[in-house]
Amino acid sequence: MSAASTVPQVEFAAVTKSYGTGRVVLDAIALTIQKGEFVSIIGPSGCGKSTVLKLISGLTPPTNGTIRIDGMTPRDARETISFIFQDATLLPWRTVRDNVGLGLELERAGSNRRKKTTAALLELVRLQDVAEAYPRELSGGMKMRASIARALATNPRLLLMDEPFAALDEMTRDRMNEELLRLRAEQKWTGVFVTHSVAEAVFLSTRIVVLSPHPGRIHASFQVDLPFPRTALLRELPEFEALVARASHVLREALVQ
Amino acid sequence: MRRHLVTVANAAAVFAALVVLWQLILWIFKVPPYMLPSPWAVAKAVVARFPSLLASLAITAEESLGGLIASIVVGVLVALIFAQSRWVRRMLYPYTILLQTVPIIAIAPLILMWIGAGAPAVTFIAFVISLAPVIANTTQGLISVDENLVNLFLMHNASPAQLLFKLRLPHAVPALFVGIRIASGIALIGAITGELYAGSSRVGEGGLGYSILYASTQLQTDYLFALVFAATVLGFSFIFAVMFLEWYFLHRWHESARAPETE
């Protein structure tokens, strides 16, 4: 194994984050995410889940401690990171196609590469038929798929997702989860996923990190040893339900603390 | 389409009713024609003096349109400065309110003194009075961008120019149109008010405001009504033109610009 591949994708060492008047949001976070992992971060509101993603992306600096992304500072690693937000955050004045191509356009990729990549991704998320439509004409699930395609268009090595499916109805959400795993099987990226839903975290992840609130600390971290590829049927297996029950239990512990 | 026809028919019915009421008032109260001319006399005045009516209309249209375009250009530029930081806004925003609250009638003689009577002075007055709504609405549009959209752009290392031209400016277009719609009406009022003071550098030639004043001194009340009617038509044309442009630029993506019958 070469030295480069042993460098973790994300490494937090004693990271603390506090805002303005000294309100501590995250306290002494030590977290290592290896390449190829899909880590879900769950925890009650106010535990700083979203702040973890903001720190990884370099959108906000840590108050103390160091963060390394693939051995680089978050700012330097930005080109290798894509962020999917809770809302689809599409530009309403652009067609679906131009929205998907936005990242490449901002990074000044050649128009040939942009066209090819955009077309390929529209197909990948099955939006090729509405490529020329405007976001307001799409359903919530389609908007989210466009948002995912946009994030994947810049070929990220690390994908950060901040409750991307929270606003969708349960059936759409389940389908989007299956689709996300399909995309992950095709494109090798490392995922960090923030969610409120324990079942969603279990279904998607190779590992779950549970945060406790006030201030945010890592309460527990455990592997999800369910085999890939995972399909909708997985949700009916007793192993799945057992893991959901266990995760829910740990989450309650975190809240009581 | 049917809905539009119904709207037009309703408006026409109300107009007819008002004309009838107007004529009834004349008959019942026996108002002398120099106080209130009959609808028929006004119509005759429109036809008889159509060339001069049209000339006045053209002058006022040019002045108010000039003032409006100037306030759109200057208003957007000022809004771009305001959008830079909260401090700039705090320091300068009170002055846009000042712009709105200073009674234009009070400073019109001053502008007349500076620029001299005629179209440039009137255009300037229309500009000053219609500037504030453009600044206020455009600024609001520029700064109300969703934080996550800004974050998205930052994640792709967007330059300040990309943030401005690909995010903030397009986002501000609907608000800009709200500003323009308000400003277009005010610019016309400004132009006509300005003309009352500084309407013409030559006797007998001027816009609607000037001609209204002139007609009233001559007791040509029928023509005065024709001029007021022309001013109303001009105001309507402005609003409809702005609404059309708004629809043209926004209907594909913005909710507010959707045609009512598609909903």
CB contact under 8 A, A91 and B151: no
> Which chain B residue lies closest to A138 (C-alpha atoms)?
B253
Residue-level length of chain B: 263
Helix (H) or strand (E) holding A212: strand A207-212
Q: Is A81 exposed, middle or buried (0-12, 13-18, 19+ CB in 10 A)?
A: buried
User: What is the predicted pLDDT for the residue at B114?
Assistant: 86
- CA distances to A162, B38, B43, B215, B227 from B26, rounded to whole Å, are 72, 7, 16, 21, 20
> Which chain B residue lies closest to A154 (C-alpha atoms)?
B156
CB contact under 8 A, B149 and A89: yes
Q: Mean of the pLDDT values across residues A84-98?
A: 92
Is A2's pLDDT higher than 50? Answer: no
Strands A23-33 and A158-162, bridge-based pairing:
unpaired
Is B174's pLDDT higher than 90? Answer: yes
**Nearest by Cα to B105 from B178, B172, B194:** B194
User: What is the predicted pLDDT for the residue at B186?
Assistant: 92
Homologous superfamily assigned to B46-262: MetI-like (1.10.3720.10)
CA distance B220 to B35: 10
Domains of chain A, start order: 3-91+158-256 (3.40.50.300)
Min CA distance, A197 vs chain B (Å)? 22
Asked if B130 and B68 touch (Cβ cutoff 8 Å), the reply is: yes
Q: Mean of the pLDDT values across residues B236-243?
A: 92
> Which chain B residue lies closest to A85 (C-alpha atoms)?
B148
For testing contact with chain A, the best of B152, B248, B249 (most A CBs within 10 A): B152
Query: Which residues of B are less than 8 Å from A79 in CB distance?
Result: 157
CA distance B107 to B100: 12
User: What is the predicted pLDDT for the residue at A257?
Assistant: 64
Q: Mean of the pLDDT values across residues B131-146?
A: 92
Considering only CB atoms, B146 lies closest to which of A89, A103, A134, namely A89
Strands A38-42 and A207-212, bridge-based pairing:
parallel
CA distance A215 to B161: 38
Top mean pLDDT of A92-96, A117-121, B213-217 is at A92-96
CA distance A99 to B76: 26
Tell how many helices (H) and how many strands (E) occur in chain B.
Answer: 11, 0
A159, β-bridge pairs: A82, A191
CB contact under 8 A, B146 and A106: no
Q: Angle B208-217/B50-82 helices, nearest 10 degrees?
A: 130
> Which chain A residue lies closest to B162 (C-alpha atoms)?
A106
CB contact under 8 A, B253 and A92: yes
Min CA distance, B156 vs chain A (Å)? 6
DSSP assignment, residue A70?
T
The domain ranges of chain B are: 46-262
A133 touches chain B (CB under 8 A): no
CA distance B75 to B127: 10
Tokens of A108: 């000044």
A179-187 long-range CB contacts below 8 Å, 24 or more apart?
Answer: A179/A125, A179/A145, A179/A148, A180/A148, A180/A204, A181/A228, A181/A229, A181/A230, A182/A229, A183/A124, A183/A125, A183/A148, A183/A152, A184/A38, A185/A228, A185/A229, A186/A124, A187/A152, A187/A155
A156 touches chain B (CB under 8 A): no
CB contact under 8 A, A87 and B146: yes
User: What is the predicted pLDDT for the residue at B47?
Assistant: 93
- CA distances to A42, B50, B104, B115, B125 from B112, rounded to whole Å, are 69, 29, 12, 5, 10
Residue A228 phi/psi, 5° resolution? -100, 155
CB contact under 8 A, A103 and B254: no
Summary mean pLDDT of chain B = 87
CB contact under 8 A, A107 and B146: no
CB contact under 8 A, B152 and A85: yes
When mean pLDDT is compared across A147-156, B48-57, B97-106, the lowest value belongs to B97-106
DSSP assignment, residue A63?
S
Considering only CB atoms, B158 lies closest to which of A94, A106, A135, namely A106
Considering only CB atoms, B148 lies closest to which of A79, A87, A154, namely A87
User: What is the predicted pLDDT for the residue at A39?
Assistant: 94
Predicted confidence band of residue A203 (pLDDT cuts 50, 70, 90): very high
Strands A217-223 and A207-212, bridge-based pairing:
antiparallel
Considering only CB atoms, A136 lies closest to which of B148, B149, B255, namely B255
Min CA distance, B185 vs chain A (Å)? 28
**Beta-sheet strand order (sheet of A23-33):** A23-33, A10-19, A64-69
CA distance A134 to A148: 16
User: What is the predicted pLDDT for the residue at B203?
Assistant: 58
Q: Mean of the pLDDT values across residues A211-231?
A: 86
User: What is the predicted pLDDT for the residue at B234?
Assistant: 94
CB contact under 8 A, B173 and A93: yes
- Give how far the C-alpha of residue B78 lies from the chain's centroid of Cα atoms, to the nearest Å: 19
Asked if A194 and A52 touch (Cβ cutoff 8 Å), the reply is: yes
Q: What residues of chain B have any CB closer than 8 angstroms to a CB in chain A?
A: 146, 148-149, 151-158, 162, 166-167, 170-171, 173, 252-255
Considering only CB atoms, A81 lies closest to which of B146, B155, B254, namely B155
CA distance A189 to A134: 28
> Which chain A residue lies closest to B147 (C-alpha atoms)?
A89
Q: Mean of the pLDDT values across residues B128-152?
A: 92
Asked if B122 and B195 touch (Cβ cutoff 8 Å), the reply is: yes
Is A1's pLDDT higher than 50? Answer: no
ipTM of the complex: 0.88
